[in-house]
Amino acid sequence: MKIRLSKDFRFEMAHALQDYDGKCRHIHGHSFIFTVTVIGEIIHDENSTKNGMVIDYGDLKKIVKKFIIDKYDHALVLNEKSEFLDGLYRPDRKIIPLPFQPTSENLLVHFAEILQAELPQNVKLHNMKLHETANSFAEWFREDNEA
């Protein structure tokens, strides 16, 4: 029996879109809400401390926090081609240049690669939702991205 398990995360992040024709070309911030859903079989093992679970919520939290939230929370995320990097970048500042436009869509693709590499074998990344504002969000679904 397969079950999906989800966890919500919140982080504050600033970004700017390079060569964009709207307001988002300026540096601005969002309070992101990030939902991760994994799918897997329930562990049926009386000798396991995780008996009856798909994954310990605490373990899922640790992985997402370590590889995504801790890195991106309170960071300024810019396209590596951004002219803002010239004046602002210093190694001791939490500024992350990325080899792509830092839109929610591209961030989800990036987060999917990270989580698929870090999640334990018994669960698969099922979908993710990234709320950029209260009424705008992007979603990644594994079924949309399987060949």
98 binds Zn ion (CB under 5 A): no
Options 17-25, 33-41, 57-65, 112-120: segment touching Zn ion (CB under 5 A): 17-25
Which residue, 22 or 99, is less far from Zn ion as judged by CB? 22
Q: Which helix (H) or strand (E) holds 139?
A: strand 136-141
How many amino acids of this chain bind Zn ion (CB under 5 A)? 1
Answer for which of 5, 24, 42, 109 binds Zn ion (CB under 5 A) is: 24
Burial class (CB in 10 A: 0-12, 13-18, 19+), 45: exposed
CB of 109 to Zn ion, least distance (A): 17
- Of 17 and 60, the one with the shorter C-beta distance to Zn ion is 17
Closest CA to 94 of 69, 106, 77: 77
Least distance from C-beta 11 to Zn ion, angstroms?
13
Closest residue to bound Zn ion by CB = 24
In whole angstroms, the minimum distance from the beta carbon of 89 to Zn ion comes to 19
**Gap between the Cα atoms of 136 and 145, Å rounded:** 21
Phi/psi for 57 (5° steps) reads -50, -35
Judging by DSSP bridges, how do beta strands 2-16 and 75-79 pair with one another?
parallel
Residues that bind Zn ion in the complex, under the rule CB under 5 A: 24
